[in-house]
Amino acid sequence: MRILQVEDDMATARSVETMLASKGHQCETTALGHDGVARAIGGGYDLILLDIMLPDIDGYEVLRRLAQANVKTPVVIQTGIITRDEASNGVSLGARYYLLKPFGNDELGECLAAALEDDGAVPVRAVGDELDRREGFRDAGQSRRSQPRMRTLKTAQIVYSNANCVADCTIVNTSDGGAALKLNDYFECPAKFLLKVHRGPTYRCEVCWQRGNKVGVRFVEP
């Protein structure tokens, strides 16, 4: 199977390429949405793996352009956090499955097989959530990632090790329950830290996932 991956996080991209190769699939990767659209329109792919947060246009715009070009290749969105609104948006634009980061070889294979067999008659599904691993496929609208998220691009600081260590970051998306962060400099994020928003509140955070310089956190009570 020939697969197109549109993913700007190189650590994730390489990991997915390795997993697909172990299953005998051929994977081509681009970090740009514009290039992904052009390649998909050119044809020859059995499936597209699509990240939402891309450096030029986001994954939803990629889906819109593929729909306008009448590209029928199945699309699986691979993302760190999914909400009911995002799932609905993706479905309306043609995506059928979400693969939740971080995911493993078995989850990837299960999701790809399901997406290729899908006749469009079932709701969008999410694969990779901790609950999903115990219970199988779940409706994305019932995922624990149920808080509405907003694009914010606010600057903030990560404070840890008893306030002796500080790192700058950008808050990319926030919700009542957590946030997606982009680290200005790559480092292994501590499991728990304070997130101080410039000219804003301070949150106690626990790390849910980290891929390269992108981190997903949930807010916890003091």
Domain that holds residue 25: 2-142
SS3 39: helix
Q: What pLDDT is recorded for position 91?
A: 52
Q: Please return the burial class of 198, using the count of CB atoms within 10 Å of its CB with bins 0-12, 13-18 and 19+.
A: exposed
pLDDT of residue 106: 82
104-114 tens-digit pLDDT: 888 888 888 87
- Residue 41: per-residue pLDDT: 95
Burial class (CB in 10 A: 0-12, 13-18, 19+), 191: exposed
User: Does the pLDDT value for residue 187 go beyond 80?
Assistant: yes
Same domain (yes/no): 39, 135 = yes
Where among 96, 125, 142 does a domain terminate? Answer: 142
Q: Are residue 68 and residue 135 in the same domain, yes or no?
A: yes
What whole-number distance in Å separates Cα of residue 146 and Cα of residue 42? 36
Instruction: Tell which wins on pLDDT, 94 or 202.
Output: 202
State the total domains in the chain: 2
> Is the pLDDT reported for residue 220 higher than 80?
yes
Asked which of 89, 121, 142 is the last residue of a domain, the reply is: 142
Q: What is the reported pTM? A: 0.56
- The stretch 13-32 carries a mean pLDDT of 93
CATH number reported for the structural domain that contains residue 99 in this entry: 3.40.50.2300
Tokens of 101: 């980061």
Q: Where are the beta strands (DSSP E) in 109-149?
A: 125-127, 138-139
136 and 199 belong to one structural domain: no
Give yes or no: residues 70 and 99 share one domain.
yes
